[in-house]
Amino acid sequence: MARDIDPSLNRRRLRIELRKAREQAGLTQRDAVKRLEWSLSKLIRIEAGTVSLGVTDLRALLQLYEVTEPDLVTELEEAARGSKGLSWWAQYSEVVSPAYALYLGYEGAADTIRMYNPVILPGLFQTADYATALQSATAQEANVRPQVDLRITRQERFFDGDRGPEVDVVLDEAALRREVGGPAVMRRQLDHIKTLVDHPRTTVRVLPFSAGAHFSVSTPFILLGFKDDDDLLYLEGPAGGLSSRDDLGLSARYQECFEEISAIAYEGDRMIELLDTVRESLDNG
């Protein structure tokens, strides 16, 4: 694993491999910390991927779990060395809550991202003007610019370059028609969405008003998919945050909801036609 990978991704790699190794060794967390004479909270944080891990502690875990395969040991030692340091969003720490920081760490490792917001356009799709108008209405004045810069930096990490997750977004007609920032800002925003439709790793659909009510009609959500781990659900809003991996029923319900709204949402030419209709209404206004 490369040393220049974001520390949160290295911590996630360690979390997955060490939890798997402990389970294969037939040990509970309490068994492991008793033999290592560690506190239980220390191992819990390591397996949650919320703290860095020194090479010395890593080697103690690998010895306990009888992990000896040379290539894997070398890879995990590199991950441990790379687990220290600041993540890319550290420069925006004044506007990144602990819950959102945890989400950003997982987002950076995701293979697929599915998202829906019934009220506003998702942050990954917002122009700087749209984001500024939105934050000016919801955030303290001093936090507006950092929030906007955070959004733009996040977008660049997703859409610039050839590598990155597959992004599948269902936009809501209500969000398209809500004039955040006024007609001029919305026209540029709608034009920007049309450019993202052509991005090779992005799928865009629009859920029309005619779709009616559904399970998440009032709740924005994001589903993070991983090839080597369980999917994660992130519920946006004041009381939101990452769902517990133990709450598989809740994640499954939102997965079902995303499939349901995707099946009835407009795509292709029909979606573009709706985008153009909304834009023309702004011109006429």
Domains annotated on the chain, with CATH: 7-81 (1.10.260.40), 95-284 (3.30.870)
Provide the pLDDT for residue 103: 87
Residue 244 confidence (pLDDT): 64
Residues 6+ apart with CB under 8 A from 99: 240, 241, 242
**Looking at residue 246, what is its pLDDT?**
66
Q: Give the pLDDT of residue 245.
A: 64
Hey, is 182 helix, strand or coil? coil
Nearest-10 crossing angle of helices 29-36, 55-65: 120
Q: How far is CA 128 from CA 3, 94, 95, 136, 177, in A?
A: 32, 19, 17, 12, 18
Give the pLDDT score at 2: 35
Measured between alpha carbons, how far is residue 103 from residues 57, 148, 233, 243, 247 in Å?
26, 18, 10, 10, 17
Evaluate whether 214 touches 116 at the Cβ level (below 8 Å).
Answer: no
Q: Extract the residue ranges of the chain whose pLDDT is less than 70.
A: 1-5, 238-240, 244-246, 285
Q: What confidence score (pLDDT) does residue 114 get?
A: 97
